[in-house]
Each structure stands twice: as structure tokens, then as C-alpha cells.
Amino acid sequence: MFGLDKKDTRLLILVAVLVALAPFLLNPFPEGSAMAQFNAGYPDLMQRFVIFGIFAIGFNILFGLTGYLSFGHAAFLGVGSYAAIWMMKLLTMNVIPAIFVSVIVAGIFSLAVGWISLRRSGIYFSILTLAFAQMSYSLAYSVLTPITGGETGLQPKITDARILDGALAEGATPKANLFGLEMGSSLEWSVGGWLFTFNAGYYVAAIVMLLAFYMSIRIFRSPFGMMLRAVKSNQQRLNYTGLNAKPYTLAAFVVSGMYAGLAGGLMVAMDTQVGAERMFWTASGEVVLMSILGGVGTLIGPVLGAGAIKYMENILSKINKEILHQWFAFMPDGIEDILVSLVYPFIGKGWHLTLGIIFMLVVIFLPGGLVEGGQRVARLFKRKKPTTNTPDGKTTPAE
């Protein structure tokens, strides 16, 4: 299907089903129950899952295939966001032009950054990309204030030109839309104690993510992907064969930057507010964590890593002492206070501590990330394959 083999087709279908059923899968607990705190099926978080999944997929094309570790991918995310917001301010609030231009502008910028940074490899390449990202952040935060809005950022205003849109009514707020369908519009469905929300913006972003995921599969399975693996395996030996690896690594860098720009454009489509903080070095470090946590060099790993980190950031960080006291209220007062004191450092504002511990455990015990963990679990439950008899009476394992 679509040029994919059976294994990749099943993977693509699995991801599509999970994305389509996310409003149900992410809301397993009834509203108002003690466990409803762990529900993640609300629009803003579901959008973040798929958008940062795109960001991580693109980063994995560079890091997972070539081994080049970039600490500056947040720059392309920010450039794509600024390009998208200016399209909404000057042309139209329709998200299609904004997303398209964000990809193009991020690709051009990544071409310039990659052409310089790829003159070095290893830690020197990583430091160069980090320097470009921090320079971009500083320019956006202060020097280029007329273009970026500086500290306050940019957002659409009723006074903006928008040459393709009609005049808005007095007091109306410009809203991102897809040919009239507002990205913030949602449909709620109440079933018993459960409340499921179907958001237009989420499904638009989800469709884009599926297309991006499909393209990453094609890249991984293509001769281009094989060349990138050769670069990661032994670039010096590849050079001895007479092949120049630089055009391939530059192409991978640009493709990865365009994925980041696409994620930036979608972020604007979902939330029309852009600030320089998207280009800060912590955003670049976050996508590195996503890829390693999910599984570097795997297809679905970066998506899993992005989902895990964003879940902890938005769910664990909201748990406070009051909620903990409600959970442990059945315990005697002294034990209840002790348990709250023990658990609280790992949640709320301390959720980074939990993330750090999980990341450390994954690096030590699961170098292949969550994907390797899933494979180990699958092998535990996998039945032994039956044996077949050969003409001479001996048995051999079945294929």
C-alpha cells in the first residue's frame, strides 16, 4: 500500500487508528473520578502530542539516520512559527498558506545553517547548531523586535492587512481556520460519566502528522536513507569508496529542518501566539530527549517519546499536595503526611525529576528506548513457532 511493504503498512495503519481514536484512548477515566486527573484527551494536549511528534520525526531523520546530533533544531521551529504568523497577518487566516510558507522558510534557513555547520562533525557540529539557535533566539528576542515582537511576541490583530480575507466585524477576533472551519471548534460527546472532545484543529494536525510519518517511512526505506545509514556507520570508509557524503547529510539536515518548520507552522495554526521562547536551547534539548526516550533510528519511537514527555509535562505537573492528600485520605494521618512528603518531590513542579529518572533508566536498561521495551514485552508473550519435519525425519524451525 502506497509503496510500503506489509510491515510498514501495518505500522502506518496502527498509527492512523491510534490517532483517530485518541479522544477515547486518552480519556479512560470518568469525569469527576479520582483518576480523571490522568485523562489527557483534551484538545490542547492532543494537538501537542501530534505536533511535537512531527518535530521529533524530523529530528530523527537527521540524528537517527546520520548520527549528527543537532542542538539547534528549535531555531527552525521558531522560524517556521514566525513565517506562519506573518502569513496570517498579511495574507489570510487560512492555515494552508501559513503551513506551506513555514516549511519553505524553515527549509531555506536550515540550508544556510547546515551548509556552515556540516563543515564539522561530532561535538563541533552540535556546538555550531547550538550557537546558531541561540543567536536566532537573541535576534528574535531583541534585535529583530519589529519583525518578531520581541518579548511580547506576535499575534493576529483586527488591524492587520490580510489581503485575501474580508473585513472583520467590529470587536471580532481573527481566528485560524481551514476554509472557514475554525481550528478551535470542538464537538463534545457525553457517554455516562465520560466526556469525549473531538477538536477540528487536532484532526487537521493529526492528518498532517500521518503524512509526515508516511514520508519518513519512505525516506527510511529509500536508497537515500541507506546512504544516510552508511554515513552513520562509517563516513570515512564511505569517503574511501569515492562517494561524497556531504550532499546527503546536507539534504537530511534540510529535510529535518523542514519538518521542524512544519511543526512550528502547525503550532501557530492551533494557537495564534508566537514568542521567541520557542527558539530557546531548552526546546532543542527537549526534542533530543524525545528521540532518545522513544528510540533513536526507529520509525515510531520519536512519536512515542514526544507523547511521553508532553504527557508528563502537562499531567504530572498539575498534581499538587491537595490531590495527593485526596489520594491518601484513607491512610492514618501520620502515614498520609509521610506518603505525600515522599511523592510530592516527583510531581508538580518536580516533574522534571521524574523525567530525569525515567530517561536515566531508559539509557541504562533500554538503549533502544520505549520501542525496545515494547519489543521485549512482545517477545515475552510470543509463542514459540512450531517445528516442521524434513524428509529425512529431522526437525527444523519453521520460517
For 175-223, write each residue's pLDDT tens digit: 999 998 999 999 999 988 899 999 999 999 999 999 999 999 999 999 9
pLDDT of residue 391: 52
Amino acid at 395: T
Quick: pLDDT tens for 323-352: 888 888 888 888 888 988 898 888 888 888
CB atoms within 10 A of CB 258: 25
pLDDT of residue 386: 52
pLDDT of residue 398: 39
What would the mean pLDDT of 89-108 be, rounded to a whole number? 95
Q: Which residues contact 37 (CB under 8 A, 6 or more apart)?
A: 315, 318, 319, 323
Helices 95-117, 122-138: axis angle to 10 degrees equals 130
pLDDT of residue 161: 85
DSSP class of residue 91?
T
Q: Is the pLDDT of residue 308 over 70?
A: yes
pLDDT of residue 397: 43
Amino acid at 387: T
Q: Is the pLDDT of residue 118 over 60?
A: yes
Quick: pLDDT tens for 222-263: 999 999 999 998 888 888 888 888 999 999 999 999 999 999
- When pLDDT is cut at 50, 70 and 90, the band that residue 363 belongs to is confident
- When pLDDT is cut at 50, 70 and 90, the band that residue 154 belongs to is very high
pLDDT of residue 396: 42
Q: Which residues contact 23 (CB under 8 A, 6 or more apart)?
A: 41, 46, 196, 197, 198
Domain boundaries, the chain: 6-314, 318-380
What would the mean pLDDT of 48-52 be, rounded to a whole number? 95
What is the H or E stretch that residue 33 is in?
none
pLDDT above 90 coverage of the chain, percent: 58
What would the mean pLDDT of 45-65 be, rounded to a whole number? 95
Residue 70: closest CA among 3, 11, 139, 116: 116
Q: What global pTM score does this model have? A: 0.91
* CA distance readout (Å), 187 to 139, 155, 203: 41, 26, 12
pLDDT of residue 383: 63
Give the span between the Cα atoms of 13 and 18, in whole angstroms: 9
Q: Which residues contact 238 (CB under 8 A, 6 or more apart)?
A: 230, 231, 245
pLDDT of residue 395: 45
Give the span between the Cα atoms of 93 and 163, in whole angstroms: 10
Q: Is the pLDDT of residue 290 over 70?
A: yes
Q: How high does pLDDT run on average in the chain?
A: 89
Q: Does domain 6-314 have CATH number 2.60.40?
A: no
First-to-final CA distance of the chain: 24
CB atoms within 10 A of CB 368: 18
Q: Is the pLDDT of residue 46 over 50?
A: yes
What would the mean pLDDT of 59-86 be, rounded to a whole number? 95
Q: Is the pLDDT of residue 293 over 90?
A: yes
Q: Is the pLDDT of residue 394 over 70?
A: no
pLDDT of residue 294: 92
What would the mean pLDDT of 383-399 be, rounded to a whole number? 49
pLDDT of residue 319: 85
Q: Is the pLDDT of residue 68 over 70?
A: yes
- When pLDDT is cut at 50, 70 and 90, the band that residue 318 belongs to is confident
What would the mean pLDDT of 62-71 be, rounded to a whole number? 94
pLDDT of residue 385: 54
